[in-house]
Structure 1
Amino acid sequence: MLTVLLVGLSGALLLNGYTHHLFGSAPDGSVTATGPHDGVPAAIADGGPVIDAGTGAPRAVRPKARTIAITFDDGPDPAWTPQVLDLLRAQKVKATFFVVGTEVAAHPELTRRIVAEGHQIGIHTFTHTNLSSAPAWRQGLELRQSQLILAGATGVSTPLLRPPYSSEPDALTDADWASIKRARDAGYLTVLTTQDSEDWRRPGTTQVIANSMPKGTSGQILLMHDAGGDRSQTVAALQKLIPVLKARGYRFATVSDAVGMAQPVHPASAIEHGRGMALIGAMRLSDGILTVLTWLLYAAGALSVLRAVATVVAARRHARERYWSWGDPVTEPVSVIVPAYNESAGIEASVRSLVASDHPVEVIVVDDGSTDGTADLVESLAIPGVRVIRQANAGKPAALNTGLQASSHELVVMVDGDTVFEPDAVRMLVQPFADPAVGAVSGNAKVGNRGGLLGRWQHIEYVVGFNLDRRLFDLAECMPTVPGAVGGFRRGALERIGGLSDVTLAEDTDLTMALCRDGWRVVYEERARAWTEAPASLGALWRQRYRWCYGTLQAMWKHRGAWIQRGQAGKLGRRGLTYLMLFQVLLPLLAPAVDVFAIYGLVFLNPLRVGLVWTGFLALQLGMGLYAFRLDGEKAGPLWSLPLQQFVYRQLMYLVVIQSVFTALAGSRLRWQRMERYGSLGVPPTAPSTEGFP
């Protein structure tokens, strides 16, 4: 579905870009043909303005004597074409209108009026393109699409063609003649001019009239315009010109009548009419899509800037206010629960880091039906204070509930089996519990396996995205997630809400939201650092983030009632859930549109401007990254890969969100996606202190 949507969106933008930004906007008479003309037959160069460049001897015919065919180019135009038609009707004159396909699509009712009032109609290409300089494929496209649109708008088809930027037969170059022959192969007769009013110059009404007066009694095909700018001088000149020429004995006719040709315009087939209507509908749809995309781009930009400002301001305030005392130091022992399913690769490092804590702990490893000897490995370590509980496989929430029931202490820390703690992490994590209103504490999870681009990108995401957000959530008292890798809880608070639930795939988010709705405050303690293994392949990363995102959507839906509650629950709903909806659901959903529009801008708009916008966005991301790394005491070296992250990693993340949203809307249930363990963590790295960073 996403592929279909992106292909459709790209097609709509391609159509819009072609019709609007490859449009030949220069006036017809302002482009002078140059180049050799030796290849133009003498019968054409010295002949009349209506040319049949067939396979036989090329023919050109002239208008009859004292006959004038007034022709109008570049329309229809909603301002000037009606005025021209009104004037012609009042003067009982029929004219020939050479219409541009895109303008017909924009104003089909005016084109129908032209036909209904007995005027002749011809095509002036699809986008007012100079056919003599366009490649053959584009010449064919211009003629086919303009004919289709005319058939769709009016139900008629015409073989009359006036190439844009053409003039009189003796001005034809070899390139012009080649394009005229290709048009004839497609079934068109080319109509040039014998007299140019030069109304496109807007020289004044008097001069337009002077330019339009025939010399002698020979017939003329007069070029005028009913679109392409201010045509008030054209209308004023016609009001005076037509009566004067009638009084001098001139007759006004369509092009075919002027040269004595049978009526060339004929009804279009039902298939042509239907295809033309579809093309007009597609063009209008592309215009609407571009309008919507433009507003979505503004929305995405505003959301990105708003998030950057909000998180940086909040992080700065959080860093300044963090080091208050929560109360008397918390020294009571802590129960650490480690749920484990096939964690033999990293469980030893995890357990050893926990027992090395500078705070008294008991460690409970709950083996959830492992088949790789995880429980046997932990028991073989024979570490005092470490217990192993075995149970049949029932899932991570059940394992945590089992550990909770077996815990001996009121304060509980939950740790993933691939995570190692710094020696002071447990002590730091439990200090906020000196405040009796605190029910849970989020620690600072950091990526341990940072090698390679994927590891660096996840490291940037953890530091810049997750931890900046948590500082904001802490200040706003609406923390939605205590990560499973490093989180502290009051056992009494967990028992009051019934422990952990398995109805979502994000049990940590579900649990945190349940605590908030029960009135507990959840805080962030960035000094409680734990190091976790991040996925080492794109496939593993996709599975992990798909589960996280889908589970978060489940939790948001489950706790949607918080939006209308009061107290701590209301803060979660109106602040936390709104933030998640705007910045972790809506903003990623807008990202594909932004990227597609950026490509559209590079192709059809000003590439420099698009590049400057992208550079500004990247600078904003880099500024956030530098500040976040400084707050976390991290070296800024990995940020060199940030531009590459925007091209690859960001797309992967928003595709995950999109797939999760589609999965949720479809009502499908996602299975648990277990992470592959690598055992890459040993002794926890020592991160620099963040003391004193404002």
Structure 2
Amino acid sequence: MGKRVRRREPRAHWLLLCLFMLVLLAELCFNGYVSHVGAEGSGPTEVPGAGGAAPGTVTGGAAVQRVGAGGSVTSRGMPAKTIALTFDDGPDPTWTPRILAVLARYHAHATFFEIGSRVNQYPAVSRQIVAAGDEIGSHTFTHVQPGDTPAWRLNTELTLTSNAIAAATGRRPVLLRPPYSSKPDAVTGADFAALRRIGAAGYLVVLADHDTQDWRRPGAAAIATAAQPAGGAGAVVMMHDSGGDRSQTVAALNLLIPRLQAQGYRFVTVSEGLGLPAAPRASAAGRWRGYALRFAQLGGSWLARAMTVLMLVAVVLAGLRLLVQVFCAWAHIRRVHRRWRQPLEFLGPVSVIVPAYNEAANIAATVRSLIGSDYPRLEVIVVDDGSTDGTADIVERMRAPGVFVVRQDNAGKPAALNTGIRYARGEILVLVDGDTVFEPDAVGRLVQPLRDRRVGAVSGNTKVANRKGLLGRWQHLEYVIGFNLDRRMFDIARCMPTVPGAIGAFRRAAVRDVGGVSAQTLAEDADFTMAVIRAGWRVVYEPAAIAWTEAPSSLRQLWRQRYRWCYGTMQAMWKHRRALVQRGAAGRLGRRGLSYLLLFQVLLPLSAPMVDVYGLYGLLFLPLTKVAAVWLGFTAVQVATAGYALRLDRERYGPLWSLPLQQVVYRQLMYLVVFQSTVMALLGGRLRWHRMARTGAATAHARAATRS
């Protein structure tokens, strides 16, 4: 026979996940960069004399200037009776077409200095401008102030804008108007340094002779008056076709153009007025870069909106879940308090079955806690499942009355449980793990709900014994908050999907109805419980039945345990998926329990990486006060919920301080577990049983409790 090759778990998905998150972050960051687009009147205020004084050739020159890399300046203005209307901050899907309609009505032309990111948003409007015989110049990509912008970013802004215009119109812009600029005499030394970089990139800088300041909305008549030159002189006139309500600008054009045309003025583009050639055609490479840029920008915008919706949905679902949990916890307390006021009843002999595989560290403490129970007529059956550490020998040496040891070859936990069930004599079966330590009244409390003949199984309250250190505290909080609040809710909704393997009681008739414990999934406790419910039995939660268990003491062990739990739960959900369309108890399990598990334990955790990426995006691009307020509010709700859960379980509030730190490592580990489990399930992989190495923490807890 050939050598058997063990199938390895898939690893490429981790690379794909990292790549996906990096692409997602890059897209969101690009959207954050683009979305900080300014408009005239909304940006930084120019500081007079910033960076020193600009040369007189600039401040005393005409509106259209060519600035060489070495600082040489040549300038030209419009000829007499020639007006170059210019519009900044577009294109705008509402106002730009209206302005074009006015220009067409009077057979006038103009130059539009467009923001590159807006060109990507409204490329059809840019094409409409060119088709009407008007021209387009650059106004940077995100409306940055060149004098305050590093050289690398300014160059990037110019390149991105050129690519955007090339993709939209097929033309490469050669004219540029710096955002927040006005007349030549307003240029500062810092602005001049930026103009040199702009000139070195091959652009002709277009300033203004008349700045109408139409963004202030002073009225159509005032805008028209501010645009009108004196003495028949030509002029470059600055207006805006975007950035707000431009109805006054449109009205001013209807006043200005016919008035000046009657005086012999003509309205032309900047290039036409100076006798310059039209903007050259863009290269194919430039157009394709522009298409890719537009795709990236629109994709980033879509992602940002989708992530915002996802965040809102997650917050709403989390809020609804919290409200339901709190209400159900309140209702459950009232129910169990009525039960607790009744005296404990003897319900017949109880058989406790302890499947054990290499449990030498804790098995003695487990057995002692069981024989120390205050419930009468209790038999304990320890099924040694092929242990190699002397587990069975330890139990036999104890010579405890009512404790029996059954040895079998290693066949797995379900087989060990079924073996114990066959040997058991009681009609009530308590199934426990080999590392669990029971409180003295735990068994008596656990079986009380079975007084109701409709109840087929009871879940006890599992607590973490080794809760020292951050990892222990986090698991302790998780058990108290997540597991026990959920169980109270499931009990009220009559759809308890899991009786934990650490402590659970079953009616033998229910076990018989489902054919024993199945070995078809890795979460045999969830599979078994779901089968019991589908057989028509009720499953309830008894919080007063307390057992202590040893939780993983390292991240590696925690990963293995939760990976098996998550993967096994998915297997059980798939196995019992027909419950979704069944009636009665099975339907409640399917439509309430399985839907809840799918939403809150699979789908939302799968979206968690995107939420974290969105959080990082918020740190980079949103106001820190807003981000901090959201995080603090979210944390406060978590702490309040945890405090309520601790109070219900009569636990100390001390571990609450570690809850905010849980978001740093623990939460990410849990959603990566879900991701790995989902990939394995989709690929049809088979997960091996990952057994946790025991340290004897449950035994140590039992000894400490005895001393106290």
Q: TM-score range by the shorter chain?
A: over 0.9
Matched, 1:532 2:546: no
Q: 1:153-199, CA deviations, whole angstroms, 9 ceiling, x for partnerless residues? A: 22221121110011122221110011111122222221111111222
- Seen in structure 2, the aligned counterparts of structure 1 residues 80 and 660 have a Cα distance that, compared at 3 Å, is same
- Seen in structure 2, the aligned counterparts of structure 1 residues 352 and 446 have a Cα distance that, compared at 3 Å, is same
CA distance in 2, matches of 1:439, 1:175: 81
Deviation at 1:332?
A: 2.2
SS in 1 for 2:146: coil
Match of 1:641 among 625, 650, 658: 658
Contact 1:76 1:227 in 2 (8 A): yes
Contact 1:296 1:593 in 2 (8 A): no
Matched, 1:362 2:379: yes
Deviation at 1:324?
A: 3.5
Aligned to 1:336: 352
**Partner AA of 1:304 in structure 2:** A
Q: 1:632-691, CA deviations, whole angstroms, 9 ceiling, x for partnerless residues? A: 111111112111123332232223223322332333332222112111222655999xxx
CA distance in 1, matches of 2:292, 2:62: 38
Aligned to 1:352: 368
**Partner AA of 1:664 in structure 2:** A
- Seen in structure 2, the aligned counterparts of structure 1 residues 687 and 635 have a Cα distance that, compared at 3 Å, is farther
Aligned to 1:211: 226
Matched, 1:11 2:62: no
**Partner AA of 2:131 in structure 1:** A
Aligned to 2:418: 401
Deviation at 1:33?
A: 4.5
Contact 1:199 1:224 in 2 (8 A): yes
Matched, 1:188 2:203: yes
- Seen in structure 2, the aligned counterparts of structure 1 residues 379 and 37 have a Cα distance that, compared at 3 Å, is closer
Aligned to 2:5: none
Matched, 1:617 2:631: no
SS in 1 for 2:698: coil
Match of 1:41 among 40, 45, 55: 55
Aligned to 1:269: 283
Q: How does 1:241-640 map to 2 (within 5 A)?
A: 241-263=256-278, 265-325=279-339, 329-359=345-375, 360-640=377-657
Identity %: 56
SS in 2 for 1:223: strand
Deviation at 1:408?
A: 2.1
SS in 2 for 1:163: coil
Bigger CA drift: 315-324 or 38-47? 38-47
SS in 2 for 1:157: coil
Deviation at 1:77?
A: 0.8
Contact 2:344 2:445 in 1 (8 A): no
CA distance in 1, matches of 2:624, 2:408: 61
- Seen in structure 2, the aligned counterparts of structure 1 residues 438 and 327 have a Cα distance that, compared at 3 Å, is farther
**Partner AA of 2:98 in structure 1:** Q
CA distance in 1, matches of 2:44, 2:343: 82
Deviation at 1:319?
A: 1.2
Q: 1:359-413, CA deviations, whole angstroms, 9 ceiling, x for partnerless residues? A: 2322222222222232233333333332222222222111111221222222111
CA distance in 2, matches of 1:189, 1:618: 54
Deviation at 1:520?
A: 0.8
CA distance in 1, matches of 2:177, 2:442: 80
CA distance in 2, matches of 1:375, 1:621: 44
Contact 2:347 2:451 in 1 (8 A): no
Contact 1:479 1:572 in 2 (8 A): yes
Contact 1:446 1:462 in 2 (8 A): yes
Bigger CA drift: 40-49 or 623-632? 40-49
Aligned to 2:91: 76
CA distance in 2, matches of 1:683, 1:604: 50
**Partner AA of 2:116 in structure 1:** G
**Partner AA of 2:316 in structure 1:** A
SS in 1 for 2:691: coil
SS in 2 for 1:483: coil
Match of 1:90 among 88, 105, 121: 105
CA distance in 1, matches of 2:642, 2:53: 65
Q: 1:534-565, CA deviations, whole angstroms, 9 ceiling, x for partnerless residues? A: 11111211111111111111111111111222
- Seen in structure 2, the aligned counterparts of structure 1 residues 117 and 332 have a Cα distance that, compared at 3 Å, is same
- Seen in structure 2, the aligned counterparts of structure 1 residues 317 and 685 have a Cα distance that, compared at 3 Å, is farther
Aligned to 1:237: 252
SS in 1 for 2:148: coil
Contact 2:123 2:168 in 1 (8 A): yes
Task: Provide the TM-score with structure 1 as the length reference.
Answer: 0.94
CA distance in 1, matches of 2:166, 2:676: 41
**Partner AA of 2:438 in structure 1:** F
Aligned to 2:13: none
SS in 2 for 1:266: coil
Contact 2:39 2:89 in 1 (8 A): no
User: What RMSD in Å do the two structures reach over aligned CA positions?
Assistant: 2.2
SS in 1 for 2:230: coil
SS in 2 for 1:230: coil
Q: 1:93-117, CA deviations, whole angstroms, 9 ceiling, x for partnerless residues? A: 2211100112111111000111122
SS in 2 for 1:267: coil
CA distance in 2, matches of 1:450, 1:29: 54
Q: 1:590-643, CA deviations, whole angstroms, 9 ceiling, x for partnerless residues? A: 433333333333332333233223222222222222222112111111112111
Aligned to 1:65: 80
Structure 2 unaligned regions, length at least 5: 1-15
**Partner AA of 1:373 in structure 2:** G
Task: Provide the TM-score with structure 2 as the length reference.
Answer: 0.93
CA distance in 2, matches of 1:456, 1:589: 24
Contact 1:327 1:434 in 2 (8 A): no
SS in 2 for 1:338: strand
Contact 2:605 2:671 in 1 (8 A): yes
Bigger CA drift: 47-56 or 87-96? 47-56
Bigger CA drift: 565-574 or 580-589? 580-589
Q: 1:433-460, CA deviations, whole angstroms, 9 ceiling, x for partnerless residues? A: 2222111111110000011011011111
Matched, 1:162 2:184: no
**Partner AA of 1:435 in structure 2:** D
**Partner AA of 1:348 in structure 2:** A
Contact 1:413 1:486 in 2 (8 A): yes
Q: 1:285-309, CA deviations, whole angstroms, 9 ceiling, x for partnerless residues? A: 2222122222211211111111111
Match of 2:680 among 645, 663, 668: 663
CA distance in 2, matches of 1:457, 1:569: 34
CA distance in 2, matches of 1:30, 1:449: 57
Deviation at 1:523?
A: 1.1
Deviation at 1:533?
A: 0.4
Aligned to 2:667: 650
Bigger CA drift: 338-347 or 384-393? 384-393
Match of 1:50 among 64, 75, 87: 64
CA distance in 1, matches of 2:235, 2:344: 102
**Partner AA of 1:140 in structure 2:** N
